[in-house]
Amino acid sequence: MNLKRSIQRMIVVLALLGSAVAFAHNGVEHVMGTVTAVTETSVTVDTLKQESVTVLIDRSTTFSDNNTQASRSDLKVGQRVVINAKPNADKKLVGLSIKWGAHAPAH
């Protein structure tokens, strides 16, 4: 039941935020939603507003599953994620961290 409660909390937080991309500290943006695609260079997320947001990933992007270090290959389509990202010089989002699992923080 703890997993169910954690998922419910994450859904409530996502609903309260209600935006595709929320702005955070120091220009870091939060992208939250369900993964629709994972490639070698990007992750695409369907947000609560049913907008598709693609975040680039590079060697410095970190991955975490239930607060345990993970890798890009562990991330699967259908998982709910919270991505912290910053815009690059081309104004494309580049992932700093990608977190998923029952304990992924909402911010």
Tens-place pLDDT, residues 33-66: 999 999 999 999 999 889 999 999 999 999 999 9
Residue scoring higher pLDDT (20 or 87) = 87
Q: What pLDDT score does 46 carry?
A: 97
**Residues with Cβ within 8 Å of residue 104, at least 6 apart in sequence:** 10, 64, 66, 80, 81, 82
Report the percent of the chain where pLDDT is more than 70: 71
* DSSP states along the chain: -HHHHHHHHHHHHHHHH-SSEEE-GGG-EEEEEEEEEE-SSEEEEEETTS-EEEEE--TT-EEEETTEEE-GGG--TT-EEEEEEEE-TTS-EEEEEEEESTT----
Q: Which residue ranges make up each domain of the chain?
A: 2-100
In the predicted model, is pLDDT for residue 105 greater than 90? no
Answer whether residue 2 shows pLDDT above 80. no
Is a pLDDT exceeding 80 seen at residue 28? yes
Q: Please give the pLDDT value at position 49.
A: 84
Query: Could you tell me the pLDDT band of residue 9, with boundaries at 50, 70 and 90?
Result: low
Answer yes or no: CATH 2.40.50.140 is held by domain 2-100: yes
pTM, to two decimals: 0.73
